[in-house]
Chains A and B, each alone.
Chain A
C-alpha cells in the first residue's frame, strides 16, 4: 500500500498522508481507548493521591462488577435484549429488503426508501421521544386501541421492555435494511426463478438461495444493530422503566452520578469486550470474513 501511495502521490505527500493518518489513529482512537483501559485498572482516587502509593494496578473495579448481582443481571439482560432487538430487526427488515430489492418497481422502491430515510433526518432523541408520546399512558396508541374496542383500560407500554424493543427496532432498522438490501439486490433474479422452476416453494427458495447469498449482508446488519442496541442510551432512558435498565445507563451513572470514572471505565471496557465477542461469534456462525462485511 505504501508503494501504491508513493507511486501515485510521490514521497513527501505520501509521508504527510501516512503520518496524518497515524496521528489521527493514535490521538483519536488508540489513546482515549488506552486511557479508558488504564483507568479501569486503577482505583478511584482523589486528585492529590494520584501517582501516590495507593495508585496501583488492581482488578477491584472488575471485582465490583462480578460481585454485584444486579449489575451482572443487567449486563446479561442487555446482551439478551440486544440479541432480541437484533433478531426482531432482522425479521422485520428481511421481507422489506427483499421487497425493495426484488419485487418493487424502481419507483416503488425509491418511494419506500424515502419513507424509511426521512425519519432519520430527525435526531435520534427526538425520534425516540415521539415514541414516548405515542406509548404514553394517555397517548394516541392507547386511545386508538380503546376506540377500536381492543382494550378496556389503557396499557402501560412504558413500564416493561416492550417500549424499549419497539423503539430500538425502529431506531436501527435502516442499519439492517441497507446491508440486506445491498446483498439481496446483487442476487441474479434468474437464481430465484430457477429454484422456483425446479419446484421449490417460497420458503425453500429463501432458505436455500436468497439467504445463503445474503449472508454477508445479514452478518453486517446483525453486527451493526447489535452494537448500536447494546451501546444505546437514549432509547432505554426514554422508553424504559427502572425495571428495564440498560447496561449503558449503569456506565453513565458511574461516570456522571457516581463520579467514579475508573469504575465506569471498567464497565465500558466490559461492554467493548462483549461487542468484540459478539462480532467474532457472528462471523463464525455466518462463516464470513472481515472482508465480506466491509463490502
Chain B
C-alpha cells in the first residue's frame, strides 16, 4: 500500500487571487504530516487539491506514484475527515460507516463485520444502531474516523477535525489519532492552525503562510531552528531583536541590536558583517537572576508577573531595549525567583548563544518607545 503524496509545482488561483503559490512537496507513505498555518493561508485549499474537490490551476498531484489529474474525487485513494465531520444525520452509525463499503458493492454481512471491527478500533463497540444525531461530540469524531477508514484509504485527510471539541477531549483525541495512525500505517495529512496539535502528533510539519510553504521539518527542528521569520514567530513564542551583524565566527554571529551590549546567536545562513539580521530568543531560554548575579550581563526591570501553572511569565523591560517575555520557574518548584523578584525590581538576564537563532533580515520593528533607563531606576 503506497500512500506517498507528491505535489508537483501545484498552484491554485481563484480568479486573480492566488490561494496556493507553486508548491512542490513529497509526503512519505505512512507519515503523519501536518500543515500548520493561520486562518486563510490556504490549508483547506491544499487539502481539496489532494482529495480532488479542486483541480490545480498549475502542476499536478500524485498519490502512490500515480498522477491524479484525471482521477475524480470518488475514485481517489483518499478519505477526508471534514472540519464539521459531515456525518450523514439521517443514517445510523452502521449506515454511516458502511456507506463507503456499500458504494463498493460489498455484501451486507461483510460490511457489518468490517463496521464492527472499526467500531472496536475507535472504541465504540455496540453503538452501531444508534442514530448519529444522538452521539456526543467525541463519539461523532470517532465515527467520522471510522467512516473514513472503512474505505481503506491510502491517505487520510483531516481538516481541523478536533477544533470543535473541548480542551480535554482534544488532547485525548490527539493521542488516539496518533495511535490509530500507527496501528493502520495510513498516511495522515492533518491540517490545523493549532501549533500544539501539529507539534505533538506529527512526524513532519509544513508551516504555511499566505499560500506558501515556509518550512518543512520535524517538530523539534521547527521549534529549535525556524527557517524564516514567520516560522520563528508562529511556532511557539519568541522575542525578536532586529539589528546589524558585526562579527561572524563560523556559525556564531554577533549582532548589534541597540542594547547595552551586543547579542550572540547561531545562524545557518551565510551572513557577513554589516548585514541586517534578527536574533530570536524563546521565553524559556532566558536565564533570569537578581541584581547581584553579576555574571548575567543584561539589565532590566520586571514589568509584570503572570502565574502560568508550571512556570512564571515575566515581562522584563530591557535597559535601553524592548520588553521581553521570559519563562522562569516559580517558588513552588523549589528554585523560584518570585520571592526575590517583584514587579518594579531591577533584574539581570542572559541567554545562551547556542540556543538563540539568527535569521537574515530585520523586518520586525520591536517597540522601543517603552525603553527605560534602568540605571535611573536603580
Contacts and interface: CB of A to CB of B under 8 A. Distances in A.
Interface of A: 188, 190-191, 193-201, 204, 208-209, 212-213
A209 B103 CA distance: 13
Interface stretch (B80-88, B214-222, B350-358): B80-88
Q: Most chain-B Cβ atoms within 10 A of its Cβ — which of A188, A196, A201, A209?
A: A196
Contacts of B249: none
B255 interface: no
A149 to B, nearest CB: 39
Given A204-B103, A208-B99, A196 B86 contact: no
B82 A193 contact: yes
Nearest to A202: B74
Contact of A190 (B78, B86, B151): B86
Contacts of A196: 53, 73-74
Contacts of A208: 88, 99
A188 B150 CA distance: 22
B151 A194 contact: no
B82 A190 contact: yes
A195 B148 CA distance: 11
B86 A193 contact: yes
A191 B74 contact: no
B168 to A, nearest CB: 26
A212 B90 contact: yes
23 contacts: A188-B84, A190-B82, A190-B84, A193-B80, A194-B80, A194-B87, A195-B88, A196-B74, A197-B51, A197-B74, A197-B79, A198-B79, A198-B99, A198-B100, A198-B103, A198-B151, A199-B100, A199-B103, A199-B104, A200-B99, A200-B103, A208-B88, A212-B90
A197 B52 CA distance: 9
B111 to A, nearest CB: 13
B266 interface: no
Interface string B86-128: 1110100000000110011000000000000000000000000
Contacts of B82: 190, 193-194
Contacts of B151: 198-199
Interface residues of B, number: 23
Contacts of B78: 197
A224 B232 CA distance: 63
B295 interface: no
Given A194-B80, A195-B99, A208-B99, A201 B86 contact: no
A194 B51 contact: no
- Which applies to chain B's interface (DSSP): helix, strand, loop or mixed? mixed
Nearest to A193: B53
A209 B84 contact: no
A204 B100 CA distance: 11
B147 interface: yes
**List of 8 A-B pairs having minimum Cβ-Cβ separation, nearest first:** A198-B100, A190-B86, A194-B86, A199-B103, A196-B73, A197-B80, A199-B74, A190-B82
A193 B78 CA distance: 13
Contacts of B84: 188, 190
Interface in B49-65: 51, 53
Q: Most chain-A Cβ atoms within 10 A of its Cβ — which of B51, B84, B99, B147?
A: B99
A197 B172 CA distance: 27
Nearest to B157: A197
A190 B83 CA distance: 9
B70 interface: no
Interface in B257-301: none
A193 B103 CA distance: 14
A196 B75 CA distance: 9
A176 B148 CA distance: 36
Contacts of A193: 53, 73, 80, 82, 86
B86 A199 contact: no
Given A193-B82, A194-B80, A213-B90, A199 B147 contact: no
Nearest to A198: B100
A209 B88 contact: yes
A69 B313 CA distance: 95
A195 B75 CA distance: 12
Q: Most chain-A Cβ atoms within 10 A of its Cβ — which of B73, B87, B147, B151?
A: B73
Contacts of A191: 86, 88
A197 B73 contact: yes
Contacts of B74: 196-201
A195 B79 CA distance: 10
A253 B257 CA distance: 101
Nearest to A194: B86
Given A194-B80, A194-B88, A195-B99, 20 more contacts: A188-B86, A190-B84, A193-B80, A194-B86, A196-B74, A197-B53, A197-B79, A198-B74, A198-B99, A198-B100, A198-B103, A198-B147, A198-B150, A199-B75, A199-B100, A199-B103, A199-B151, A201-B74, A208-B99, A209-B88
